[in-house]
């Protein structure tokens, strides 16, 4: 007989959003026994960004329970015991294969059913795999992806097994840049391949990208631009040996790491909720078109107040904050109290080698580069402002202090007017400190 369990609140997804939602439910007075978190992973929610950074460090790599949520934002670390102490049921290793929003029922792969009064969808994204496109040889051994702690363990094991070997990183975005750095730190011979004219094209201008590409090259990372992997060779054991590129060249490889993006996991809800821009459409409280069903993090397409449009944001900062906002809204509605609107300022950051950048706002309009962007400098520090309709709408800073990063965030939020781009370039960070 398959089991059925009922909860007042169910959070579907045990990623960053799931953990931050749990903490907020407790803060807002949820009672023991009311909340369950259902996750297909085997571990309690953790801070995913650690996987592409400290988890793979050659010395003293980070390990669980070190980076369970909510340490990533300076909060207390929620160990598995925390959930049981608070009377939250943490249902792990459980994949939900069917969601019926009309009957408020979730069904697991093992046939267990869970019913709820309020559902919080926090399913996040799945990694895009080359095998999805039928790329020849893409299922060879040691072609790896990074999304969950299991993936990081496989990659770590491959790094240990192929010491001093050749690694090819497919993709020039976040994962590509962070993993190329960490593989190089592990003394692998690293080549990064991506189709675009420069790295991180969604955010970087050509000038910003030129700094990082030169910096990486100086560190010994080889960069191949403007082409894609079209196939892989493997030996008789099925281990990858080479990456075949569209331009006809072939790269030897002992490890291949693919970081070509993710897809929001919305399949369970197709045809049951309104969708927009590849995500589940929500209001400013993250409630979907189905009353009592909320969606947060990567899967939510929500009203972005500051720009007066709707967007979907894939970033850990929004995963944390949207989860907290939704829970405040759920508990506020129960108490008949209005909750302040979600007023999100887009924020992205990355760390690799000795570098660390932060970006706030919108990267639209004309970009102005300032500061020292010489990749050979001992401590390069530079930034960029984006100007649209005579106002600064976005700001980027490499090598900034906490105060300086705070200052560029203020600029992006305030959107001050700019009279002269030349003056702005000359003032650089000084402009931000005046806001």
pLDDT tens, position by position, 13-58: 999 999 999 999 999 999 999 999 999 999 999 999 999 999 999 9
- Would you say residue 356 has pLDDT above 60? yes
CA distance 18 to 14: 5
- Would you say residue 245 has pLDDT above 70? yes
Query: In the chain, what percentage of residues exceed pLDDT 90?
Result: 99
* CATH 3.50.50.60 residue window(s) in the chain: 4-126+263-335, 130-260
pLDDT attached to residue 320: 98
- Would you say residue 280 has pLDDT above 60? yes
* CATH 3.30.390.30 residue window(s) in the chain: 354-433
CATH of 4-126+263-335, one of 3.50.50.60, 2.40.110.10, 3.30.230.10, 3.30.930.10: 3.50.50.60
CA distance 283 to 289: 8
User: Strands 279-281 and 300-304, how do they pair?
Assistant: parallel
Q: Which CATH class is domain 354-433?
A: alpha beta
pLDDT attached to residue 50: 95
CA distance 188 to 241: 15
The alpha-carbon radius of gyration of the chain (Å, integer) is 23
Cα separation of the two ends of the chain:
64
- Would you say residue 277 has pLDDT above 80? yes
pLDDT band at residue 3 under the 50/70/90 scheme: confident
pLDDT attached to residue 90: 98
Q: Whose CA is closest to 293, among 329, 260, 261?
A: 329
Q: How many C-beta neighbours within 10 Å does residue 60 have?
A: 7
Question: Taking residues 59-82, what's their average pLDDT?
Answer: 95
The string over 141-172, giving b where at least 16 C-beta atoms fall within 10 Å of a residue's C-beta and e elsewhere, is: ebbbbbbbbeebebbbebbeebeebbbbbbbb
pLDDT band at residue 2 under the 50/70/90 scheme: low
pLDDT band at residue 435 under the 50/70/90 scheme: confident
The residue with tokens 């590129």 is 245
Task: Name 1's Cβ contacts closer than 8 Å, sequence gap at least 6.
Answer: none
Which stretches does DSSP call E strand in 156-239?
166-170, 189-194, 222-225, 229-234
pLDDT attached to residue 150: 97
Do the beta carbons of residue 122 and residue 323 sit within 8 Å? yes
pLDDT in tens, 361-376: 999 999 999 999 999 9
- Would you say residue 223 has pLDDT above 90? yes
pLDDT attached to residue 361: 98
pLDDT in tens, 108-125: 999 999 999 999 999 999
- Would you say residue 236 has pLDDT above 80? yes
pLDDT in tens, 160-178: 999 999 999 999 999 999 9
User: What is the fold of 130-260?
Assistant: FAD/NAD(P)-binding domain (3.50.50)
Question: Taking residues 379-394, what's their average pLDDT?
Answer: 97
CA distance 15 to 279: 17
**Pair of tokens at residue 188:** 């692998």
Q: Whose CA is closest to 346, among 379, 389, 312?
A: 312
- Would you say residue 1 has pLDDT above 60? no
């Amino acid at each position: 007989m398959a089991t059925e369990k009922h909860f007042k609140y169910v959070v579907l997804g045990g990623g960053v959003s799931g953990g931050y939602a749990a903490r907020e439910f407790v803060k807002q007075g949820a009672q023991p026994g009311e909340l369950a978190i259902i996750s297909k992973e085997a571990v309690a929610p953790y801070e995913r960004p650690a996987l592409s950074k400290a988890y793979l460090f050659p010395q003293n790599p980070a390990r669980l329970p070190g980076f369970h949520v909510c340490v990533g934002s300076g909060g207390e670390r929620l160990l598995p015991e925390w959930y049981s102490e608070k009377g939250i049921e943490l249902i792990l290793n459980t994949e939900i294969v069917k969601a019926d929003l009309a009957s408020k029922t979730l069904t697991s792969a093992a046939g267990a059913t869970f019913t709820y009064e309020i559902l919080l969808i926090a399913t996040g994204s799945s990694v895009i795999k080359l095998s999805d496109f039928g790329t020849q040889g893409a299922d060879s051994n040691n072609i790896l992806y990074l999304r969950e702690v299991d993936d990081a363990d496989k990659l770590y094991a491959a790094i240990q097994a192929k010491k001093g070997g050749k690694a090819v990183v497919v993709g020039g975005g976040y994962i590509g840049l962070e993993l190329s750095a960490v593989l190089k730190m592990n003394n692998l011979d690293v080549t990064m391949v991506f189709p675009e004219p420069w790295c991180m094209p969604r955010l970087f201008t050509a000038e910003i990208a030129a700094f990082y590409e030169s910096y990486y090259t100086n560190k010994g990372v080889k960069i191949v631009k403007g082409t894609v992997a079209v196939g892989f060779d493997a030996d008789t054991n099925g281990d990858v040996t080479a990456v075949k590129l569209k331009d006809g060249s072939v790269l030897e490889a002992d490890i291949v790491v693919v970081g070509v993006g993710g897809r929001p996991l919305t399949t369970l809800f197709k045809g049951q909720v309104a969708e927009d821009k590849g995500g589940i459409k929500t209001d400013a409280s993250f409630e979907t078109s189905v009353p009592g069903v909320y969606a947060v993090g990567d899967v939510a397409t929500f009203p972005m107040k500051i720009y007066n449009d709707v967007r979907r944001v894939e970033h850990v900062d929004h995963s944390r904050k949207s989860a907290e906002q939704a829970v405040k809204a759920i508990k506020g509605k129960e108490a008949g109290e209005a909750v302040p609107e979600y007023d999100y300022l887009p924020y992205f950051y990355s760390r690799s080698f000795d570098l660390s950048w932060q970006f706030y706002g919108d990267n639209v309009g004309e970009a102005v580069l300032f500061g020292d962007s010489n990749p050979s400098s001992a401590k390069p520090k530079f930034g960029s402002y984006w100007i649209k309709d005579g106002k600064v709408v976005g700001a980027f800073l490499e090598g900034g202090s906490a105060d300086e990063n705070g200052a560029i965030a203020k600029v992006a939020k305030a959107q001050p007017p700019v009279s002269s781009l030349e003056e702005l370039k000359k003032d650089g960070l000084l402009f931000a400190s005046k806001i």
